[in-house]
Amino acid sequence: MIKLAPEGKPFILGFFGLTILVVLFAPWGALLPFALTLFMAYFFRDPERRIPEGENVLVSPADGKVILISPTPSIPPLLRGGEGGVSESGEGGFIEVSIFMSPLDVHVNRAPCEGTVEEVVHTSGRFLSAFKHEASLQNENIAMLLTTRYGKILIRQVAGFLARRAVCRVKIGDSLQKGERYGIIKFSSRLDIYLPKEVNLRVKLGDRVKAGETVIGEMPSRN
């Protein structure tokens, strides 16, 4: 039995109900809503993943293609309804890794490592194509700041041209385990993660990754 993300059930049931209605009144037109029902079930699939072992291993928070790897001196401000925000700076800065999710990818997001949710901030914005660089800061997004044994890690769910809504299932104070599901972005979208600069990256531009399964980096051991 295929596991489905709960956020997809209204879409699946809605198109299935439409299919039934069309079959009753115009059977010849049922193919399209039936095809959309199957697509919704495929899109909102939520397969189990094999979480890699190792306390210093960081896993990908999303399925998709790595489209950006860039050093940055600090985590961007987390805006609170236009009333300001916070900016976290690390001793060595951060490395931003961006993952683009096409409509064919699994869109359930997972925690890269164990940590405690310090901030969850929704920011309204535009709906540019998610693969564009400017979409990272200009598009509507939900940023989650994790406090981890390695320092601060920011994960930002970015809405795209088709994806008009991201869902973050956790709140401030919640604890997450490595590979644990924490949210979903509906339809094609992007996810940015800011890792401590000392991370040893295990991915490169163009790599395909799977949430909760692909190792994107390893943190050096601390004696």
Indicate which residues carry an active-site annotation. 189
Of 169, 174, 145, the C-alpha closest to 77 is 145
CA distance 213 to 63: 9
The b/e string for 128-148 (b: 16+ C-beta within 10 A; e otherwise) is bebbeeebbeebbbbbbbbeb
Q: Alpha-carbon torsion 155, 159, 162, 163, what sign?
A: positive
Candidates 64, 96, 70, 84; CA nearest to 189 is 64
Structure tokens at 168: 């973050």
Residue entry with tokens 């997809």: 8
SS3 of residue 186 by DSSP: coil
Which of 89, 99, 120 has its CA nearest to residue 182? 120
* Contacts (Cβ under 8 Å, ≥6 apart) of 159: 125, 127, 130, 139, 140, 141, 165, 166, 185, 189
**Which residue carries 């405690």 as its tokens?**
116
